[in-house]
A and B are shown apart, each in its own frame.
Chain A
């Protein structure tokens, strides 16, 4: 839909995309305009403030020239060219308004309207329709074409003709998609939706079927509707549609919004900017914000549509407490809940010591909230027992990139992908987990960039419409280090490294050691082939392509980090990038794809037990002094407990109390039974969340949380971009999360008095060098900034390590492959690896409570046809999945996406609990759990396991809520 609300002046549709080139000056309606070469006449006019009427053009898509409404006259040229497809020329003299073009436009519009219903007043797009606006703009006053009496109709919008017979051209509405409808009777066949699906999203799910008067937009092939087609429900077509043909169901139900607020999506680490379009405090729709620097006007099904969880009936809005976890919950006042929690926590500290309690910060909450939670541990609990869910995802990234480059973050911005030539995607599935980035990557691949995928599973990027990886290295799970070291072996032994780069940018002596190490024949692709399962020839070809193919970039995800050698793999990736000279400019770099919206931020904010905000060790007295000055307390110099250590200590009885904000450790952390035992052993578990999540089954205090729509703050995405989150409605639970944390701290005697998150950001800026220049005023002015943002980089830092590595010289570190202790054997012959699916997010707490379940209502086990056959398993059978740690059951899907010997599932549904299976092996450096490799056996089963049934019963019991006392 067009952007009819103009709260931000620069939000107009300019008609065609911006170009870069040398300036060209022309005259439009007597005004001199200077625009870059290659710009269309339409955009040049828009730059000068003149809107040429248009229907098929929009600035997110290349010009198409089909509607003929944008015709203009150009002196010295014959006819009336379309302004959208005509590039500017120096000295061109353009007339956008003349008697001739006015007549043409009116005639074209009359034809359009002759085949369009005139139900504007009851149409969902009333007031938000470009066809309506253009009819007004061209001054259409009459339509001369009328259907004759008792004759067939020549239109698409009336179900019956004048004699009552059915009109074969009329098609019913398609409302198969849960979030939007397709009403063919309102379609003007401008092809904007088809082009958006191709150019913006890259899915190619739509087409124009037929020709001439029979031309219709068609999802998929003849028998498909939107739901059964390849459509991924990203909403790009709905966004592009100028009429009500593709329309959000929420707008059909609620009407057009009257105001909008720019905010940041709370799903994955891409951090898309959205306009939350509102009626009062009712959210009507989320529309991707064109000027969002991470997403550039694009979105996916989660951010665009899956916000309904905020109003789901499961959401808890009142604080609750209970003495013991076998009791039902009791709703109480905030004061009672907080003093109950504070008394228990203080009591535990008095009995069991200062270090007997701790916190877990959330990667879904804002930077400010995370900062407060770790401050609660450090300044109020007076220990360093703080950890975050980054422990279980990207902690190896922090360690590995910190050791080699000197900063614990990705090196690029997402725009960089537009300049890359060869991409390695390793252990990541962007089309499912980071869809907006995937669309940008696919766009670059369609322009000719080459792709190398390193993944045990044939992810969509390996081969899907218009995208095909040059090489797919389908390695055995757990052999990442061996594969990347073998790539480096080929680069070094074949002399393909960038020696100048290494000599000037890196430590040469360390490189010598490293080169000697990787050159050893035992690291050659031929030597490791048996181990990794990757054909040596393929691996050599991939290495040569990456080293010689131009700008080489590496994007990786949790398939790299969640291994016993996660940190080593990150280091190996950094080595490979330095070796080939691929750090420090556009189009290259090492780019972790962060899982959660603010996992980068939660790491930056000092959530780890050994690091204060800004990745500075708690042992350093000068760092502690900074915080001691501001906070007015003495800080504990001893690093605290990591999440697994907290749980171990709980089982041992030395760790007794936990404040867990916005994370469901029971479902997301490995070895569920151990987590459950740890939680059950604690005396005070405070869960602060939107829903009674799985962890809350073991909680004594439940503090209701607020959604991202209900609070102010900032999220930091995977490219270090600090994006503003803006409150669009009052918290339904009464308080934003930062207020709740502050109340808890004050109940424990802290005496904090922040009245707005901006004050918390001031404190962060004052104490943390990389955030020194960040203020809410700056973020409002710039839209967003990428840290480091300080006196040297007042506008932030899109690219890191441009003139040299942050740590000085880039450091090569030897990466010896050590196989994990989790091994297959006769009892557990298969390797299980886990991942995500597009429509669901993380443990599914949010997306399971939206219509997204249409696409994925249960976790399934992908198994290769060969492995299935020898076990007698058919597609759709219930199977039992067992590891050394536990067992669960789910349905099987027979596929050739996984190799033989490998099975795959997702972890979105608590009734499956994939993490019952996963082991407690973890990364040697950071304890990041080894989710991606578990030895398992699969066999036929009748239904849920005993454990699943017991768990479901226990969960139901522990979720009872007593009616509030009157």
Chain B
């Protein structure tokens, strides 16, 4: 786990909640604001959000856990997502995924020991014509083979 990400303070979280609370349906905007500022939504934010919206921590947890992209723990510096949907599987995505996990020595959602890469499955990037597809941070990559994945991981520093 990367140790470098500091735990945000109560005041920082409160300010982020405040920045969104005037919106209609503010729960998702608050979660987004915290995640984009901190890289994840720390558990200590959950009761604070609940209190601000006058709902329970359980409800916040229910919403947050519904969306896979909200993180409870910080991710690595780069997030590599490999598509696991049908078209990519048909074009060798499964082998690519297995090879990548083996190379990094990780399970899905794992982060390399140096905190550089987090590897995640994703279900369809809409890039079926260029399968197998992957996504590196915000950038999608098509026709990923072992060499291209190796280049991606090397560039990331894994």
Instruction: Known A210-B66, A211-B66, A222-B72; judge A466-B54 contact (CB<8 A).
Output: yes
How far is the CB of A389 from the nearest CB of chain B, in Å? 37
A-B residue pairs in contact (CB < 8 Å), sample of 22:
A203-B56, A204-B55, A204-B56, A206-B58, A207-B58, A207-B62, A208-B62, A210-B66, A211-B66, A218-B58, A218-B61, A220-B58, A221-B47, A221-B58, A221-B61, A222-B43, A222-B72, A229-B57, A230-B57, A465-B54, A465-B56, A467-B54
Listed from nearest, the 9 A-B pairs whose CB atoms lie closest are A207-B62, A221-B61, A207-B58, A204-B56, A209-B65, A221-B57, A465-B56, A211-B66, A221-B46
Decide: B46 and A468 in contact? CB cutoff 8 A.
no
Main DSSP-derived SS at the B contact region: helix
Which residue of B50, B56, B57, B60 has the most chain A CB atoms within 10 A of its CB atom? Answer: B56
Interface string of A734-774 (1 = CB under 8 A from B): 00000000000000000000000000000000000000000
A130 to B50, CA, bound (A): 34
A223 contacts chain B at the CB level, 8 A cutoff: yes
Decide: A466 and B55 in contact? CB cutoff 8 A.
yes
How far is the CB of A191 from the nearest CB of chain B, in Å? 11
- Chain B minimum-CB-distance residue to A211: B66
B59 contacts chain A at the CB level, 8 A cutoff: yes
A898 contacts chain B at the CB level, 8 A cutoff: no
List which A200-242 residues lie within 8 A (CB) of chain B. 203-211, 218-224, 229-230
The residues of A with any CB-CB pair to B shorter than 8 Å are: 203-211, 218-224, 229-230, 463-468
- Chain B minimum-CB-distance residue to A467: B54
How far is the CB of B53 from the nearest CB of chain A, in Å? 9
Question: Which of A205, A208, A211 is B56 in contact with, Cβ under 8 Å?
Answer: A205
- Chain A minimum-CB-distance residue to B50: A465
How far is the CB of B56 from the nearest CB of chain A, in Å? 4
Instruction: Known A204-B59, A207-B59; judge A222-B65 contact (CB<8 A).
Output: yes
Decide: B62 and A230 in contact? CB cutoff 8 A.
no
How far is the CB of B109 from the nearest CB of chain A, in Å? 11
Interface size on B, residues (CB 8 A): 16
Decide: A220 and B54 in contact? CB cutoff 8 A.
no
The residues of B with any CB-CB pair to A shorter than 8 Å are: 43, 46-47, 50, 54-62, 65-66, 72
Question: Which of A222, A463, A468 is B61 in contact with, Cβ under 8 Å?
Answer: A222
How far is the CB of B92 from the nearest CB of chain A, in Å? 21
Instruction: Provide the residues of chain B in CB contact with A219, threshold 8 Å.
Output: 58
Instruction: Provide the residues of chain B in CB contact with A210, threshold 8 Å.
Output: 65-66
Which residue of A207, A211, A220, A222 has the most chain B CB atoms within 10 A of its CB atom? Answer: A207
How far is the CB of B135 from the nearest CB of chain A, in Å? 20
Instruction: Provide the residues of chain A in CB contact with B72, threshold 8 Å.
Output: 222
Decide: B54 and A229 in contact? CB cutoff 8 A.
no
Decide: B56 and A230 in contact? CB cutoff 8 A.
yes
Instruction: Provide the residues of chain A in CB contact with B61, threshold 8 Å.
Output: 207, 209, 218, 220-222
A208 to B61, CA, bound (A): 9
- Chain B minimum-CB-distance residue to A464: B54
A207 to B60, CA, bound (A): 9
- Chain B minimum-CB-distance residue to A216: B65
A466 to B50, CA, bound (A): 10
Instruction: Provide the residues of chain A in CB contact with B56, threshold 8 Å.
Output: 203-205, 207, 220, 230, 465
Instruction: Provide the residues of chain A in CB contact with B62, threshold 8 Å.
Output: 207-209, 218
Instruction: Provide the residues of chain B in CB contact with A463, threshold 8 Å.
Output: 54
A219 to B56, CA, bound (A): 11
A939 to B61, CA, bound (A): 41
A224 to B57, CA, bound (A): 10
A211-B65, A218-B61, A465-B50 known, 16 other contacts, Cβ within 8 Å: A203-B56, A204-B56, A205-B58, A207-B62, A208-B62, A211-B66, A220-B57, A221-B47, A221-B57, A229-B57, A230-B56, A230-B58, A463-B54, A465-B54, A466-B55, A468-B54
